[in-house]
Amino acid sequence: MSDNQALSTKQQSIIPISAFTATGDLTKLKPALQAGLEAGLTVNEIKEILVHLYAYAGFPRSLNGINTFMALLDERQAQGIEDEVGPDADPVPADMDRDDYGARVRAKLAGAETIPPPSGYQLFVPIIDTFLKEHLFADIFARDVLDFQTRELVTISALASMLGTGGQLLFHLGAAMNTGLSEAQLQGFIVVLANEVGQQEAAAAAAALGMVLSRRAS
């Protein structure tokens, strides 16, 4: 893997932060958060990662991660360490059509040029589709502390670490590629999973990536 194809140190540090937040392993999360700060993630970038994850792992895991991060920052401040806070999110336009914005973001992540008609669960339970479009893909994705590619890296790191989320992992591995992550970078993602999170998680992610690559090649 050449240097320009590899995940950066910052990107690599996102993977265990997301994984351990999603699984609730706070003992491993704390050193992962510290490594993220030392890799160059700002305080606000890590906050945003932890906020983003509530959409996939739930409020309890997200809040536990936030509390763990708060305690770590207090410890570092007591040691005289000043971490870079970084910029906050720019305000979202008050007149933004959240339904349209969210539908366009989801289509873009799926690699579609136009918004597809609703089907499946979208017709069966329309309100969940509204929540997905207006909240996840609009309220959250519109926050510019993290770009779409980073949000997808956060998401696949969480989904690869949880049980029962294989279908969503397939979609988001494709979405990660549609935001510009290369096959080589996703292979690097799997290496980090194996080294930092677990062999079982990495093997499942590798199998899912193989399916995604096969579909994209056909």
* HEC sequence for 159-171: HCCCCCCHHHHHH
Residue pair 164/205 in contact by the 8 Å Cβ criterion: no
End-to-end CA distance of the chain: 24
* Per-residue pLDDT, 1: 37
Print pLDDT tens along the chain (218 aa): 334 469 999 999 999 999 999 999 999 999 999 999 999 999 999 999 999 999 999 999 999 999 999 999 999 999 999 999 999 999 999 999 999 999 999 999 999 999 999 999 999 999 999 999 999 999 999 999 999 999 999 999 999 999 999 999 999 999 999 999 999 999 999 999 999 999 999 999 999 999 999 999 98
* Per-residue pLDDT, 4: 43
- Quote the strand ranges of 92-171, DSSP E: none
Residues 6+ apart with CB under 8 A from 217: none
151-162 as b/e: b if 16+ CB within 10 A: bbbbbbbbbbbb
Residues 9-88+145-217, CATH architecture:
Up-down Bundle (1.20)
Cα–Cα distances (Å) from 141 to 98, 119, 147, 155, 174, in that order, read 11, 23, 8, 12, 17
* Per-residue pLDDT, 5: 64
* Per-residue pLDDT, 60: 98
* DSSP type of residue 159: H
The DSSP line for 2-28 is: -TTTSPPHHHHHHHHHHHHHHHT-HHH
Tokens of 183: 């096959």
Residue pair 61/20 in contact by the 8 Å Cβ criterion: no
* Per-residue pLDDT, 174: 98
d(CA 131, CA 138) in angstroms, rounded, equals: 9
Where exactly are the structural domains of the chain? 9-88+145-217, 96-143
* Per-residue pLDDT, 48: 98
Tokens of 177: 């590629």
**What 3-state DSSP class applies to 198?**
coil
Residue pair 178/145 in contact by the 8 Å Cβ criterion: no
